[in-house]
Chain A
Amino acid sequence: MRDLVIDLDSVVRTFGAITAVDDLTLKVPAGSVTVLLGPNGAGKTTTVRLITGALIADSGTIRVLGFDPNKDGGEIRARTGVVPPKPAMYDNLTGADNLRFAADLWGVNGDGIEAAADRFDISYALDQDVGGYSTGMRTRLALARAVIHDPDVLLLDEPTAGLDPESSRAVLDLIRELAGRGRTILMCTHLLHEAEGIADQVVLMGDGTARTAGHPADLAAAFLEHPTVVFDAENRDQLEKATGHAAVIRHEWNGGLHLTLDSMETLPDLVTELVKSGVRLTRVEPQLPTLEHLYFEMQRAMREEDG
C-alpha cells in the first residue's frame, strides 16, 4: 500500500452543540484522487479545514504529509493548495496583484505567477481588477492561486459549484493533470458526475463521518450487486413477458423496460426465452454503474442500516 498522505483517525470536531465531524476516519494514499461525496452539512468543509490546520480537532489524530496540523500546521499549509467553495479575492486589486500576494506568501518568484496564469488561461485579464471578473474567471484565478507553489496536496471544496462548463472542465483537467504527476488530491463534491472517472477512492460522508469508502468499482460491486439492463422491442407490449421472469427482481418503464436482474449470468437465458417467444428485440443494453447510481444506492443502504 502507498504511504498515507492524509490520515485522520477517529477525529471529532464540534461547534457548540453541533458535531460537524464525528469520529471520522479517512485514509488518503499518496498520489491518489479521493472524492468526498455527501450532502450539504455532511462535514466535508470542516474536514478540509481540519486537514490544513485551519481548524483544530477536539479529539482524534490527524497526520498530513507526516505532520500534525496542530503543531506543524505551517509545514502542511506550505505544501498544500486549497480551493474553497466560493473563492474570495481582493476585488479592488488586479488578478496579478492577487497572484503576487499568494506568490509572496508561498515564496514563489515571478515566473511562477506567469506560469500559473497561463496554465488556467487567465493571463489576458491579469491587469484587470478582480471585481470585474466573471465567476468562471474568478475560479480560474483561484485555481492558479491554489497551485502557484506546485503543492504536494490539493484540496478542492466544491470547486465547480456555479461554474460554466468550460470552467468546470478546467477544474477536472487540473485534477487529472496533477494526479498524473503524482500529486495527492482530495475533492469534496455533491455533483456526482464530476467524480466519475477520476476518483481512485470515493468516501461517502453523512452526519460528519465517513459512512463507507473504497474504489468506485469495489463500492459498485458491494452496493450495486444487481445489474440493470434496458430492453426495447418492435412491439413493446410483448416485453411484459419479461417482467415475470424468475431472474427479474424489479422493473421500470422509462424509455424502454429497465429490468433489474439477480445477476448478469441470467441475461443470456432471458434474451433467449424472449426471442423464442416471438419478441423482436431492438435493444438489450446493460447499464454501466455510475457514481450517481452508487451514491443513491449507498444512501438507501445507509438509511436501511440506520433503521
Chain B
Amino acid sequence: MRWDRVWAIARVDLKRLFKSRDYWIPMSLLAGVFFVVMPFFMLSAMSSVSATSLVQQIGGVLESLPGPIQEGLQGQSPEGRAAYAFAVYLLAPIAIIVPLTISSAVGANTIVGERERGTGEFLAHSPLTEREIYVGKLIASVIPGYLATVVGFAIYSLIVNLKVGPEVGGWFFPTAGWWVLILWVVPPFIAIALSVILWVSARVKSAAAAQQASTLVTLPIIVIAYAISSGLIFDPTRSALAVGLVAWIIAGIGLASGGKAVNRERLLGIGMEGS
C-alpha cells in the first residue's frame, strides 16, 4: 500500500468536506451543543440557588451508585458533588455520540458519492489499489469526527475545570476514565461504525439510501457505545481497557472485511441493486 496515495484520497475528501458549509456548519453545531453549550448551562445551573431540585435529583441518582464510586466523588458541598458527578460521569456518552454521528455522516456518502458524481470512473482507472481507496476513505471519515471530539473535549475540559474546579480544590479534569475513553475506547467504536457504513456505502445505489441505511446501522452501535461508555467511566482501569481491546479486535475484523466491499466495479456503478 502506498501511503502517499492513501493521503491523497483522504486529503481531497477532507478538502471537499471543509469547503462544504452544508456539512460542517450543522456538524460543528452538533459538537458545540454537546461539548460546550449543554455542559456550560447545566453546570452553571447547578451552581445557582434555583437549581436545588436538580441537585437533589442528581444526589438521588448518586446515592444509588455502588459505594466505591460514591467514595470517589469529590466536592465540598452537595452542589459541588453533583456538578462533579455530572461533569465526570453523566456526560461521558457525548464523547461517543459526537464522533460517531459526524463520522457516520461523512462515511455514508464517501463511496456512493464517488459513484453519483461520476468521479468513481476516474478512481477506477487510476493506479490506486482498492485497498488504498478504502483506507483513504476511512481516514477521511474518521478525522472530522475525531477532530471534533478532541477539540470539543478540550473545550469541555476547560469548562468543567472552570465551573467545577473551585468546588473540588482545583483543576482536576480530564480524569483517568475520560483519558481512557477518548484515547482507547472511542477510536475503535468509530472504526466499527465506519467499517459497516463504508460497506453499506459501497453497495447502495444512492447517497440518500446510504444515509438511511447508515442511520439504521449506527443507531445500535451508538446505543451500545453509550451504555458501555457510561459504565466504563466508573471503572476506568481494567474493564475499560478490556472493553477497548475487544472493540479494537472487532474493529479490525470489521475493517478487514469491510474493505472487500470497495471494488472497481462498484465505483463504476456496475452490479448495483436496481441498476
Same assembly:
yes
Please list the residues of chain A having a beta carbon within 8 angstroms of any beta carbon in chain B: 15, 49, 52-55, 74, 77-78, 80, 82, 84, 86-93, 97, 101-102, 104-107, 145
Distance in Å from the Cβ of B206 to the closest Cβ of chain A?
A: 16
Tell which of A15, A88, A90 touches B12, judged by Cβ atoms closer than 8 Å: A90
A97 touches B15 (CB 8 A): yes
Bound CA–CA A104/B128 (angstroms):
11
Q: Which of A53, A54, A89, A107 has the most CB of B within 10 A?
A: A54
Distance in Å from the Cβ of B10 to the closest Cβ of chain A?
A: 11
Bound CA–CA A187/B271 (angstroms):
26
Q: With A74-B129, A104-B4, A105-B8 known to touch, is A54 a contact of B118 (CB < 8 Å)? A: no
Assess whether B126 is interfacial by the CB under 8 Å rule. Answer: yes
Please list the residues of chain B having a beta carbon within 8 angstroms of any beta carbon in chain A: 4-5, 8, 11-12, 15-16, 19-20, 117-119, 121-122, 124-129, 264-265, 267-268, 270-271
Q: With A55-B264, A88-B118 known to touch, is A93 a contact of B125 (CB < 8 Å)? A: no
Nearest first, the 9 closest Cβ-Cβ pairs linking A and B are: A88-B118, A104-B8, A54-B124, A78-B127, A82-B125, A77-B127, A88-B119, A101-B12, A54-B264
Distance in Å from the Cβ of A30 to the closest Cβ of chain B?
A: 20
Report whether over half of chain B's contact residues are helix, strand or loop; otherwise say mixed.
Answer: helix
Bound CA–CA A53/B270 (angstroms):
14
B119 touches A89 (CB 8 A): yes
Residue of A nearest to B117 (CB): A88
Q: With A15-B270, A54-B264, A97-B12 known to touch, is A80 a contact of B118 (CB < 8 Å)? A: no
Residue of B nearest to A80 (CB): B125
Contacts of B268 in A (CB 8 A): 49, 54-55
Contacts of A89 in B (CB 8 A): 119
B265 touches A93 (CB 8 A): no
Known A101-B8, A102-B122, A104-B5; 12 more pairs at CB < 8 Å = A49-B268, A54-B125, A54-B265, A54-B267, A74-B127, A84-B118, A88-B117, A88-B118, A91-B117, A93-B12, A93-B19, A106-B127
Bound CA–CA A49/B265 (angstroms):
10
Contacts of B19 in A (CB 8 A): 92-93
A105 touches B265 (CB 8 A): no
B15 touches A93 (CB 8 A): yes
Distance in Å from the Cβ of B129 to the closest Cβ of chain A?
A: 6
Residue of B nearest to A53 (CB): B264
Contacts of A74 in B (CB 8 A): 127, 129
Contacts of B270 in A (CB 8 A): 15, 55
A52 touches B125 (CB 8 A): yes
B8 touches A90 (CB 8 A): no
Bound CA–CA A105/B129 (angstroms):
11
Q: With A15-B270, A54-B268, A88-B117 known to touch, is A105 a contact of B20 (CB < 8 Å)? A: no
Bound CA–CA A91/B118 (angstroms):
11
Bound CA–CA A170/B127 (angstroms):
26
Contacts of B271 in A (CB 8 A): 15
Residue of B nearest to A46 (CB): B270
Bound CA–CA A96/B124 (angstroms):
21
Residue of B nearest to A90 (CB): B16
Distance in Å from the Cβ of A34 to the closest Cβ of chain B?
A: 18
Q: Which of B119, B122, B267 has the most CB of A within 10 A?
A: B122
Bound CA–CA A86/B20 (angstroms):
23
A84 touches B127 (CB 8 A): no
Bound CA–CA A93/B8 (angstroms):
14
Bound CA–CA A77/B129 (angstroms):
10
Contacts of B128 in A (CB 8 A): 105
Q: With A55-B264, A77-B126 known to touch, is A92 a contact of B5 (CB < 8 Å)? A: no
Residue of A nearest to B275 (CB): A15
Bound CA–CA A92/B267 (angstroms):
20
* 6 A-B interface contacts by CB (under 8 A): A52-B125, A82-B121, A82-B125, A102-B122, A104-B5, A104-B8
A55 touches B119 (CB 8 A): no
Q: With A49-B268, A55-B264 known to touch, is A105 a contact of B15 (CB < 8 Å)? A: no
Residue of A nearest to B18 (CB): A92
Bound CA–CA A239/B117 (angstroms):
59
Q: With A49-B268, A97-B15 known to touch, is A92 a contact of B126 (CB < 8 Å)? A: no
Residue of A nearest to B128 (CB): A105
Contacts of A78 in B (CB 8 A): 127
Contacts of A84 in B (CB 8 A): 118, 121-122, 125
B127 touches A90 (CB 8 A): no
Bound CA–CA A105/B5 (angstroms):
6
Bound CA–CA A55/B265 (angstroms):
6
Bound CA–CA A255/B236 (angstroms):
93
Contacts of A87 in B (CB 8 A): 118, 122
A49 touches B127 (CB 8 A): no
Q: Which of B15, B124, B127 has the most CB of A within 10 A?
A: B127
Bound CA–CA A99/B170 (angstroms):
53
Q: With A52-B125, A74-B129 known to touch, is A92 a contact of B20 (CB < 8 Å)? A: yes
